[in-house]
């Protein structure tokens, strides 16, 4: 039975609703108890998610990495938009990662979307040691402003190294404070406000410029 038919049954709908309420509550609790790490008390909402995934073509067949995936609000929409993409999501908080995994299973996406439970820093350093294909898109909801300058700059640098040439790093924040930090690695940066989200956000679109060989 596919996900849509499964939800036609009222009993299954009740179970799905109570699961999603519980997921929301656990996210809220993470936002209170680990506020610096979580950076929000509710998952991103649809207008912000739509802005975050807008540059990725529906026909994209390559790899997308999502850092700070929370309970999967963005991941599920991304997977629905880009059915041929291979998505690798990463979440540091094991409680949120467990909910993320359940949400993937509920949407029948467990095989297409891979979830790494651990820090983005660890994932990126593991990827750097392999010859894995570099993604054209890295999406992140990690609250950079709460990391502190040194850690934020190191993370942005690892993101830049992990991204394919000409690729795009898409980050949302709740302020413009990190603009300068992102610009150190990504001079080609555009920011767009999203007011229809709680709290309002700013999306950073950062392009990794192709390196021009010296003398070219």
Ligand X SMILES: C[S@@+](CC[C@H](N)C(=O)[O-])C[C@H]1O[C@@H](n2cnc3c(N)ncnc32)[C@H](O)[C@@H]1O
> Site residues (CB under 6 A) for ligand X?
37-40, 43-44, 67-70, 73-74, 90-93, 96, 119-121, 141-143
Distances (CA, A) of 114 to 19, 25, 29, 152: 21, 24, 25, 25
Least spacing, CB of residue 30 vs ligand X, in Å: 6
C-beta closer to ligand X: residue 93 or 103: 93
Most distant pair of Cα atoms in the chain: their distance: 67
C-beta closer to ligand X: residue 38 or 103: 38
What crossing angle do the helices spanning 10-33 and 94-106 adopt, rounded to 10°?
Answer: 160
Distances (CA, A) of 12 to 3, 98, 104, 146, 202: 10, 20, 16, 39, 36
Tell me the C-alpha distance between 52 and 34, whole Å: 24
C-beta closer to ligand X: residue 201 or 206: 201
C-beta closer to ligand X: residue 70 or 167: 70
Inter-residue long-range contacts of 211-215, CB under 8 Å, 24+ positions, other chains counted = 211/165
Specify whether the backbone of 62 is left (phi greater than 0), alpha (psi in -120 to 50) or beta.
beta
C-beta closer to ligand X: residue 123 or 206: 123
Cα-only R_g, the chain: 17
DSSP 146: G
C-beta closer to ligand X: residue 96 or 153: 96
Tell me the C-alpha distance between 117 and 22, whole Å: 20
């Amino acid at each position: 039975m596919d996900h849509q038919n499964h939800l036609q049954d009222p009993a299954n709908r009740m179970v799905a609703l109570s699961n999603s309420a519980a997921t929301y509550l656990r996210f809220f609790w993470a936002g209170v108890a680990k506020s610096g790490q979580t950076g929000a008390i509710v998952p991103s909402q649809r207008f912000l998610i739509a802005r975050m995934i807008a540059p990725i073509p529906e026909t994209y067949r390559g790899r997308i990495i999502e850092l700070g995936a929370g309970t999967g609000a963005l991941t599920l929409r991304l997977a629905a938009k880009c059915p041929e993409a291979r998505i690798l999501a990463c979440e540091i908080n094991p409680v949120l990662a467990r909910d993320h995994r359940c949400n993937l299973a509920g949407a029948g996406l467990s095989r297409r979307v891979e979830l790494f439970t651990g820090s983005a820093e660890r994932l990126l350093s593991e990827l750097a040691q392999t010859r894995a294909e570099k993604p054209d898109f890295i999406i992140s909801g990690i609250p950079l402003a709460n990391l502190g300058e040194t850690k934020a700059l190191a993370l942005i640098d690892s993101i830049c190294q992990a991204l394919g040439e000409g690729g795009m790093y898409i980050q949302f924040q709740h302020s413009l404070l990190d603009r300068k930090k992102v610009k150190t690695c990504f001079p080609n940066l555009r920011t767009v406000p999203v007011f229809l989200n709680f709290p309002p956000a700013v999306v950073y679109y950062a392009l990794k410029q192709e390196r021009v060989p010296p003398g070219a």
